[in-house]
């Protein structure tokens, strides 16, 4: 089941990478590289930090194949996509939902505490998008106004709460993914952002 | 004692991260992430390069807790700080002093030679500030005019010289930290910079 | 023989780093850091991804010494270089040729499949130049118009084909290096680039 999660997250992030890269008019190879880096970046950081090497995408060809097919299909079907910004945001949100959960699971499997698992899950989810944006010269997604890493952390905390309930762990995992995607969609739709820490200073000036 | 050094370095870098991030008007979470990355970035690179995984801040909750408390206090007390640029520079200098020494010590503990220890110490000290500046879209601190990495290297060389003296190793360590902070403060105060390698070319043109 | 390849690649990338850094008017230390990062960046990423730590340049002083001497000579001889852009491009091309081959060889030695070896070789070759360009605030070299990573991949595929021939493996390796350098020089000279994936969309608009 985690494998299915991984495939969905990889595809979602690869699509978001293709879209940002094509929006920047990179050439075919640049598009592929951005898609690849966005898709495997988070998992690579996770594996390097916990010392799980060779990193996951090197142990199984499936990741390179999935990304290649996703890139080709995304480029071919791109003219069908009317709302590029909305689509980037949608696929990116799906990606962080699945990758946060995978990072948490991996953290548990190497014996990390819940706090560390949530940190690892959040980094797994956010890192691909951050390097995509740095390479494409965009403001990194986590620093933009909308709630981003906060969604991952909230989802992570929910996971450790739901897990205590007498339900199958799989439901806890799926619920966690939905919470993360849901918070992100909801925050962007209603322009929710974190409390402004600068207001009080402005008043005092 | 190294643990105390680590705590001081972490707090100093976290404060410098908060200040740069607030100067850039990032939201609450952005501020936390920049503080976190600045504080653990150098140690993470160090641990990944020498293969010491899971990296240090994952093995002990104390780092996340220290950074969280530091961020909250820094935000609350920020309005008291009049000279932001001076404070960033001061806390950054304290950070590189302590982290250079910690990098050198870690290098020694895995059997690296003095030259490699100094290189590792310098990277440990500089990396947090470099990614802080890249993420905040500032010119990375090591490429600005004032002496930065040079202070770490000078301090590192001093350490291996002082260590030969018949004094307690702890004094050698504290002295090294003071040398690094001192060189940096002194260089900025008197606008000392490295010899200009371009002048001769200009003359020849 | 691989050691000789490594030295040549290190020198070539260090020179390209010095040139980009001096073009940006960095100070002496900034030039050294950019040269160092360009030269060891690719190999460091490679070693970290496959878990070969401490990374190669920490295991042998020769890399730091070679880079130091290269930087000093490059700075001294720089006024003799008339065509900076052409020289950067030339040394960079030599670097990617040698580093692609080394990455492939390292991948084979840890049992990776040909596809993964080519991916590892390409990343080894490209990463140094990418961080050099990010730190120097240039558009990363792999995203510019000319064929870059494509040359590495083509060379990598050639290597696994040539290797099947009844010739000494050393010839296969040298031939691979020449193919990569050749494709890159040829692509830049004749302004060859990848097929434009945007044209069809423009027509449809």
What confidence category does residue A198 fall into, taking pLDDT thresholds of 50, 70 and 90? Answer: confident
Q: pTM (2 decimals)?
A: 0.87
Of all residues in chain B, the one with the smallest CA distance to C57 is B116
What confidence category does residue A204 fall into, taking pLDDT thresholds of 50, 70 and 90? Answer: very low
Task: Average the pLDDT over A40-69 and give the result.
Answer: 92
pLDDT along chain B (205 residues), means of 10: 89 93 84 92 93 88 94 87 78 93 94 93 91 81 75 94 92 94 89 71 45
Indicate yes or no: CB of B200 within 8 angstroms of CB of C79.
Answer: yes
C-alpha–C-alpha distance, residues C127 and A44, integer Å:
15
CA neighbours closer than 13 Å in the CB half-sphere of residue B40: 23
Chain B hits for C64, Cβ within 8 Å:
115-116, 119
Task: Average the pLDDT over C9-29 and give the result.
Answer: 89
Mean pLDDT, rounded, of chain C = 87
Query: Cis before residue B54, ω within 30 degrees of 0?
Result: yes
Q: Which DSSP state fits A194? A: P
Mean pLDDT, rounded, of chain A = 87
pLDDT beyond 50 at C41: yes
On whether residue B190 sits in a domain, the answer given is no
Which of A35-39, A52-56, C125-129, C136-140 is predicted with the least confidence, judged by mean pLDDT?
C136-140
Chain A hits for C125, Cβ within 8 Å:
none
pLDDT beyond 80 at A102: yes
φ/ψ of B60, rounded to 5, equals -145, 125
**Contact predicate A20/C16, CB 8 Å:** no
What range does the domain containing A17 cover? 2-195
| C26-38 burial: b if 16+ Cβ within 10 Å, else e | bbbbbbbbbbbbb
Q: How distant is the Cα of A79 from the closest Cα of chain B, in angstroms?
A: 32
φ/ψ of C135, rounded to 5, equals -65, -35
pLDDT beyond 70 at C202: no
Residue C79: the pLDDT is: 75
What confidence category does residue A199 fall into, taking pLDDT thresholds of 50, 70 and 90? Answer: low
C-alpha–C-alpha distance, residues A96 and A178, integer Å:
11
Which of A119, A143, A200 lies closest to B30 in CB terms?
A: A143
What confidence category does residue C95 fall into, taking pLDDT thresholds of 50, 70 and 90? Answer: very high
pLDDT beyond 50 at A68: yes
Residue A130: the pLDDT is: 87
Which of A3-12, B137-146, C153-162 is predicted with the least confidence, judged by mean pLDDT?
B137-146
Measured CA to CA in angstroms, residue A131 lies from A17, A44, A141 at distances of: 10, 12, 10
The number of folded domains in chain B is 1
Q: How distant is the Cα of A120 from the closest Cα of chain C, in angstroms?
A: 18
Range ranked top by mean pLDDT from A26-40, C18-32, C164-178:
C164-178
Range ranked top by mean pLDDT from A139-148, A183-192, B76-85, B140-149:
A183-192
**Contact predicate A15/A91, CB 8 Å:** yes
On whether residue A186 sits in a domain, the answer given is yes
C-alpha–C-alpha distance, residues A126 and B150, integer Å:
33
On whether residue B174 sits in a domain, the answer given is no
Contacts of C72 (CB under 8 A, 6+ apart): none
pLDDT beyond 80 at C149: yes
What confidence category does residue A88 fall into, taking pLDDT thresholds of 50, 70 and 90? Answer: confident
pLDDT beyond 90 at A159: yes
On whether residue A84 sits in a domain, the answer given is yes
What confidence category does residue C110 fall into, taking pLDDT thresholds of 50, 70 and 90? Answer: very high
Residue B87: the pLDDT is: 81
Residue A175: the pLDDT is: 94
Q: Taking an 8 Å Cβ-Cβ cutoff, which residues of chain C contact chain A? A: 48-51, 110, 112-113, 115-116, 119-120, 130, 134, 139-140, 142-143, 145, 147-150, 193-198, 200-201, 204
Task: Average the pLDDT over A161-183 and give the result.
Answer: 93
Of all residues in chain A, the one with the smallest CA distance to C200 is A79
Residue C200: the pLDDT is: 54
C-alpha–C-alpha distance, residues C96 and C29, integer Å:
25
C-alpha–C-alpha distance, residues A60 and A66, integer Å:
11
Report ipTM (2 d.p.).
0.81
Indicate yes or no: CB of B29 within 8 angstroms of CB of A150.
Answer: yes
Task: Average the pLDDT over A145-161 and give the result.
Answer: 89
Q: Which chains touch B (3 or more CB pairs under 8 A)?
A: A, C
On whether residue A180 sits in a domain, the answer given is yes
On whether residue A200 sits in a domain, the answer given is no
Residue C145: the pLDDT is: 64
Q: Which chains touch C (3 or more CB pairs under 8 A)?
A: A, B
């Amino acid at each position: 089941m985690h494998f299915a999660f991984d495939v969905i997250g990889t595809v979602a992030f690869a699509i978001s990478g293709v879209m940002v890269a094509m929006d920047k008019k990179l050439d075919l190879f640049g598009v592929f590289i951005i898609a690849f880096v966005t898709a495997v970046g988070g998992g690579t950081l996770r594996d390097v930090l916990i010392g799980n090497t060779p990193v996951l995408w090197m142990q199984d060809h499936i990741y390179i194949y999935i990304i290649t097919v996703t890139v080709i299909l995304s480029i071919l079907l791109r003219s069908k996509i009317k709302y590029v910004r909305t689509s980037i945001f949608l696929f990116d949100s799906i990606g962080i939902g699945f990758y946060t959960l995978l990072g948490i699971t991996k953290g548990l499997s190497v014996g990390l505490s819940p706090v560390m698992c949530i940190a690892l899950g959040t980094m797994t989810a956010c890192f691909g998008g951050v390097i995509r944006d740095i390479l494409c010269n965009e403001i990194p997604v986590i620093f933009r106004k909308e709630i981003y890493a906060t969604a991952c952390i909230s989802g992570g905390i929910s996971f450790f709460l739901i897990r205590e309930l007498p339900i199958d762990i799989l439901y806890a995992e799926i619920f966690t993914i939905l919470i993360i995607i849901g918070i992100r969609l909801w925050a962007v739709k209603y322009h929710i952002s974190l409390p402004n820490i600068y207001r009080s200073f402005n008043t005092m000036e």
